[in-house]
Structure 1
């Protein structure tokens, strides 16, 4: 370790200690300070770690948490970035707070923002990349899906010996050759049946001949057993596959992967994909099905991912939403719940949320008009846009309440006519709401 890296480490760790003991936040600040002093600090901090990187549009945070729990069953303590600080400075902060094991492998499972991957892999050479999916998301930051995919492929190429473990059901992940070796996971739980994706679906053109892809099975959006009827492009052979989907509720799911039965305590088909990817990582590292089963059964909800908060007897489920595909999966998950229930929708348009909010018009808010929804509360910086979207979706105007503060949002929750409340919020709205809930002592800490 150079003198510069030693100084950067000292300053980073000192600021981390101060923030931990005297403030409530600052998860990325120590990393930012360390990087100012030594831009190459990651090279020193990550030495002797077996690094697994999780990246993609949706599912990064829960997949990371499940993967950590699975690997812990076999290898003991695993370093990770649980606060969702997934850009370069957040990754540095994670390593600054690490304690290496004296015996055995040191694993680090890191959630990394798609646009930050190339910066991180300048200094860290992971052993494995997990690609969850690529969907249209925050186009002001990432651009179209093909631009985003190029970002993560280029980032992975800086560690060419690392395996890319990727979602085989997504056509874009099979659209270009990579310098990295690849393994695939996916669904094989239904008999083949000729079909095509919904007309309002991205990424359904064959990358070879530009014809529209056909499917023999679709899970959601453009994921499934795809093939091109005009050329030889098709879904690759799966190395890890889900062969049976059992009971699924808004709070849990059971399924079979490679002949082994598993379950998770979180609802929605999209979260079954997260469990499948974590299982695939476990099998990649030789973890037994019994230990994987124990890891997936871990029932601590992750920040904003179906987190359940009790507000004066109201069971509030907080869910992060940020793009149309993810939103539609959340609405489908809510549809599995037994009504009646209230819906709170908080829409911000800050940089971390994505400034462009046009995506709400591609989301299926119309689904709520077919459910037992007692009332809808809209809030956030762009609450008027959300109110209009709910009206267009068919929610009666007398069921919609628009509020201008988070204090008012919580007051509306307390007075909700149902005991069950689903809160859909963009990233900064989740953070702001949790801080206000912490101020009112409904949760501990705002992050």
Structure 2
């Protein structure tokens, strides 16, 4: 380590200690200071680790958390960024706060923002990349899905020997020839049929001949067993496949991967994909099927990902939503709820959320009036937008409570008519709500895996 990087590391670690000792937080500032002093500090910090980078539009945080649990069955020293601070300064902070280890080559499992892959691989050559999916998200930052994928590939190009562990059900991940070794995971749970995705679905054009892709079966959005009837382009052979779906509820999912039964304590088809990705990483890293099953048994929730919070006699389930595909999957998931419940939607439009809120019009809010929902509430900085959207979707006026203030929303929660309450919130709204809940003593401030 050079004198410059050593000094940068000292400043970064000292600021981390100060912030966490006296202010109980600070996940990016230490890294920002260190990078300012030594732009190449990540090269020194990351050289000691076998690094696995997890990226994609949806599922990065949960896939990272599940992967850490899975690899924890075999590896003692694991480094990760559980706060979700997935840009370059947050990743540098992750290495700065790492405890010393005697392991010759500890493992780092890092969630990395799609646009920051190239900033990481400029200095670190990972052992593997994990691709979850690419959907339309934050158009002001990423653009269309092919632009987002190219941002990822710009980083991958700097690490041509790293293995790619990709969602084989996503056509975009099979659209370009790459020199890297590639492992695919996906679903094989239904017999072949014949169907097409919905007309407004992104990413359903054949990358070879630009005709519309057909499917033998679909899971959701553009994911499934695809093929092109014109040129023969089709889904690649899967190395790891889910072969059976079992019982699914809003809080749990049962399924089989490679004929072994598994259960995760979280609902939603999209989260089964996250578990399948973690399984694929585990097998790639030498973790056995039985060890993975044990890792999946943990019901510890991840920040904002179906995190259950008790407020008086009410149980709030807090769920992050940030784009149409993710929103629709969450709505499908809560539609399996058997008990009556209340519904809260919190909408912000800050940089971290995406400043364009038009995506809510692609969400299937029309499903809500059909469900056993006894009360609705809207809030957040863009409460007018989401309130109008629910009214257009057919939510009855007499069931709708409009409350911009998150603090007052918490105060009104005990007045809601049901024990179960689902709260769907954008990223900064999740942060703000958790801060208010912490201030009122309902949770401890911070994030966990």
Tell me the TM-score normalised to structure 1 length. 0.99
In the alignment, what sits opposite 2:182?
182
1:41-86 C-alpha deviation (Å, 9 max, x unpaired): 0001111200000000000000000000000101113100000000
Counterpart contact for 1:75–1:105, Cα < 8 Å = no
In the alignment, what sits opposite 1:240?
240
**How many angstroms apart in 2 are the aligned matches of 1:272 and 1:343?**
24
1:192-241 C-alpha deviation (Å, 9 max, x unpaired): 11111112211111111111110001000110000001011100000110
In the alignment, what sits opposite 2:324?
324
In the alignment, what sits opposite 1:5?
5
* Counterpart secondary structure, 1:236: coil
Alignment of 1:223-238 (within 5 A): 223-238=223-238
Matched, 1:437 2:437: yes
Report deviation, 1:92.
0.3
Report deviation, 1:398.
1.4
1:282-313 C-alpha deviation (Å, 9 max, x unpaired): 11111111111111112110000000000111
Matched, 1:367 2:367: yes
In the alignment, what sits opposite 2:261?
261
In the alignment, what sits opposite 1:423?
423
More divergent stretch after superposition (199-208 vs 352-361): 199-208
**How many angstroms apart in 2 are the aligned matches of 1:178 and 1:207?**
14
* Counterpart secondary structure, 1:328: helix
Alignment of 1:77-226 (within 5 A): 77-103=77-103, 105-226=105-226
**How many angstroms apart in 1 are the aligned matches of 2:48 and 2:438?**
38
**How many angstroms apart in 2 are the aligned matches of 1:141 and 1:212?**
27
**How many angstroms apart in 2 are the aligned matches of 1:206 and 1:81?**
36
Matched, 1:26 2:26: yes
Matched, 1:378 2:356: no
Unaligned regions of 5+ residues in structure 2, if any? none
In the alignment, what sits opposite 1:58?
58
Report deviation, 1:446.
4.5
**How many angstroms apart in 2 are the aligned matches of 1:117 and 1:315?**
38
Q: Which runs of 4+ in 1 moved over 4 A?
A: none
* Counterpart secondary structure, 2:74: helix
In the alignment, what sits opposite 1:352?
352
**How many angstroms apart in 2 are the aligned matches of 1:272 and 1:442?**
29
More divergent stretch after superposition (137-146 vs 100-109): 100-109
Unaligned regions of 5+ residues in structure 1, if any? none
Counterpart contact for 2:77–2:103, Cα < 8 Å = no
* Counterpart secondary structure, 1:246: strand
**How many angstroms apart in 2 are the aligned matches of 1:58 and 1:39?**
29
**How many angstroms apart in 1 are the aligned matches of 2:36 and 2:49?**
23
Root-mean-square deviation (CA), in Å?
A: 0.9
Counterpart contact for 2:52–2:128, Cα < 8 Å = yes
**How many angstroms apart in 2 are the aligned matches of 1:256 and 1:216?**
20
Aligned pairs, how many? Answer: 447
**How many angstroms apart in 1 are the aligned matches of 2:289 and 2:326?**
29
Report deviation, 1:101.
2.4
**How many angstroms apart in 2 are the aligned matches of 1:414 and 1:27?**
33
Report deviation, 1:408.
1.3
Alignment of 1:400-415 (within 5 A): 400-415=400-415
Tell me the TM-score normalised to structure 2 length. 0.98
* Counterpart secondary structure, 2:69: helix
* Counterpart secondary structure, 1:247: strand
Report deviation, 1:128.
0.2
Counterpart contact for 1:347–1:381, Cα < 8 Å = yes
**How many angstroms apart in 2 are the aligned matches of 1:59 and 1:421?**
23
1:87-143 C-alpha deviation (Å, 9 max, x unpaired): 000000000011242135300000000011111111111000000000000000000
* Counterpart secondary structure, 1:290: helix
More divergent stretch after superposition (191-200 vs 318-327): 191-200
Report deviation, 1:407.
1.2
Counterpart contact for 1:345–1:423, Cα < 8 Å = yes
* Counterpart secondary structure, 1:57: coil
**How many angstroms apart in 1 are the aligned matches of 2:334 and 2:345?**
13
Counterpart contact for 1:69–1:296, Cα < 8 Å = yes
1:415-435 C-alpha deviation (Å, 9 max, x unpaired): 111111000000000000000
Counterpart contact for 1:27–1:85, Cα < 8 Å = yes
Counterpart contact for 2:27–2:93, Cα < 8 Å = yes
* Counterpart secondary structure, 1:123: coil
**How many angstroms apart in 1 are the aligned matches of 2:141 and 2:181?**
28
